[in-house]
Amino acid sequence: MNERADVIVIGGGIVGTTTAFFLRRRKRSVIVLERGLTGQQASGVNFGGVRRQGRALSQLAMSNRALQTWKRSRELLGEDVEFLPSGHTRVCYHAHDAEYFQRYADEARAHGLDLEVLEGRAMFERFPFLGREVLAASVSPLDGHANPRLAAPAFGRAAARLGARIVENTEVVHIEKEAGGFRVESAAGDIYRAEQVLVCAGAWANTLSTQLGEPVPLVARGPQMAVTEPVPYVFQHSMGVYTTVKAESVYFRQIPRGNLVLGGGPPGPADIATRRAGVLPENTVAQMAQFRRMVPALGPLHVIRVWSGVESYLPDSEPVIGPSTKADGLFYAFGFSGSGFQIGPGVGETLAELLDTGATPIPLDSFSIQRFQRGASAHAESATSETSS
């Protein structure tokens, strides 16, 4: 088989499917090559947090853009991905974290994110169920959650309805620059050609970027998830603990059916060869202890299932988004470090704009792959203390 399009997108997660969707709205021809099924990896098994607060300020422009798509998702996709803009609240236990909430709220306002910081009585009046160790709460009323199992496949189907070629069960094994563009070869020996290529292959992106002379210190890890038995639906806000002590972090959301989905704490192992990420029982036990600390009334709930997913992490916890520094027409988007679901549609829209017009008003400098070519030492592991969801 020999096929050609304006753009080849490698990877059918939330980033690849939304990029294809927005490229088709710009009438660019696009082929998405996905090794398994769309949304089968991190994009389909994540916590479902559609959360802007807590992100680096440099992500907020794209994150705000993403929120506009989440809000219009039913209309844009013609199906429901269960996006509930019911609010997201972070709480903390330490005075320095409470001070940080206020500082972050002041800075985020200039980037289009309005937060309300509550303490003491006002906080307990709003959230009477919080444990008495909680010192402050930062409320983002327009954030929320969505169903990850539905989102990327729905964007893929919508892109296909607009004319995108979504090719599943097709692994890319080789990318090569040639006159006029790129030659992309699948494991089955099929050849695809395009003027532009986007590598958005999640935890597997380094294998491809290395072929193109741009290795990155990407590692795979598995955020630890659990879901409880269903109980009456009372928690509309998605909530989480912000802390610089990773072991204290926990976050949860309740779905209208009644189950509480929760995550947090240190991620577990993930293996890019087997494409599996496991849950360590001790992590679930620790998560439940922190869950009870945040909302003591939830203590008696039973966990009915645990899972994880293969997520790509970069040492500075920020993604790579933007053009290659080695080959014209080549673009990257990966390394979302536990936070790529919410921002995915904003990344997709921004990349579609960049690929189509050569420019975007969204600043991408801090996401350049070039930062890893200046020497790995500048990117010592930063503590990923943020509630990732």
Ligand X SMILES: Cc1cc2nc3c(=O)[nH]c(=O)nc-3n(C[C@H](O)[C@H](O)[C@H](O)COP(=O)(O)OP(=O)(O)OC[C@H]3O[C@@H](n4cnc5c(N)ncnc54)[C@H](O)[C@@H]3O)c2cc1C
Binding of ligand X at residue 13 (CB under 6 A)?
yes
Binding of ligand X at residue 338 (CB under 6 A)?
yes
Cα(221)–Cα(347) distance, integer angstroms:
22
Using the rule CB under 6 A, which residue among 5, 7, 15, 306 binds ligand X?
15
Query: Which window, 43-51, 70-78, 124-132, 353-361, contacts ligand X (CB under 6 A)?
Result: 43-51
Using the rule CB under 6 A, which residue among 5, 7, 8, 11 binds ligand X?
11
> Which pairing describes strands 88-92 and 136-140: parallel, antiparallel, or unpaired?
antiparallel
Backbone angles phi, psi at 313, to 5 degrees: -120, 140
Binding of ligand X at residue 200 (CB under 6 A)?
yes
Collect all residues with Cβ–Cβ distance below 8 Å to 113 and sequence separation of at least 6: 52, 53, 60, 63, 64, 140
**Shortest approach of ligand X to residue 143 CB, angstroms?**
10
Backbone angles phi, psi at 271, to 5 degrees: -125, 115
Using the rule CB under 6 A, which residue among 83, 93, 291, 341 binds ligand X?
341
Which conformational region is residue 58 in: left (phi greater than 0), alpha (psi within -120 to 50 degrees), or beta?
Answer: alpha
**What string of DSSP letters covers 99-114?**
HHHHHHHHHHHTTT--
Using the rule CB under 6 A, which residue among 340, 352, 353, 372 binds ligand X?
340
Binding of ligand X at residue 48 (CB under 6 A)?
yes
User: Total number of residues binding ligand X (CB under 6 A)?
Assistant: 41
The CB density around residue 170, as the number of other CB atoms within 10 Å, is: 21
Please give the angle made by the CA atoms of 23, 4 and 207, to the nearest 5 degrees: 80
Cα(16)–Cα(172) distance, integer angstroms:
14
Separation in Å, CA 120 to CA 123, 131, 234: 5, 12, 22
**What string of DSSP letters covers 96-149?**
HHHHHHHHHHHHHHTTT---EEEEHHHHHHH-TTS-TT--EEEEETT-EE--HH
Binding of ligand X at residue 241 (CB under 6 A)?
no
Residue 243 or 283 with smaller CB distance to ligand X: 283
Using the rule CB under 6 A, which residue among 8, 21, 24, 40 binds ligand X?
40
Collect all residues with Cβ–Cβ distance below 8 Å to 306 and sequence separation of at least 6: 224, 225, 226, 227, 279, 284
Binding of ligand X at residue 6 (CB under 6 A)?
no
**Shortest approach of ligand X to residue 354 CB, angstroms?**
16
Query: Which window, 35-43, 91-99, 127-135, 157-165, contacts ligand X (CB under 6 A)?
Result: 35-43
Binding of ligand X at residue 331 (CB under 6 A)?
no
**Shortest approach of ligand X to residue 224 CB, angstroms?**
7
Binding of ligand X at residue 134 (CB under 6 A)?
no
**Shortest approach of ligand X to residue 99 CB, angstroms?**
25
Binding of ligand X at residue 240 (CB under 6 A)?
no
> Which pairing describes strands 260-263 and 251-254: parallel, antiparallel, or unpaired?
antiparallel
**Shortest approach of ligand X to residue 263 CB, angstroms?**
6
Residue 295 or 321 with smaller CB distance to ligand X: 321
Binding of ligand X at residue 41 (CB under 6 A)?
yes
* 7: β partners: 30, 196
**Shortest approach of ligand X to residue 238 CB, angstroms?**
8
Residue 87 or 296 with smaller CB distance to ligand X: 87
Query: Which window, 37-45, 60-68, 136-144, 368-376, contacts ligand X (CB under 6 A)?
Result: 37-45
> Which positions touch ligand X (CB under 6 A)?
10-16, 33-36, 40-43, 45-49, 171-172, 200-202, 204, 223, 225, 263, 308-309, 311, 334, 336, 338-342, 344, 389
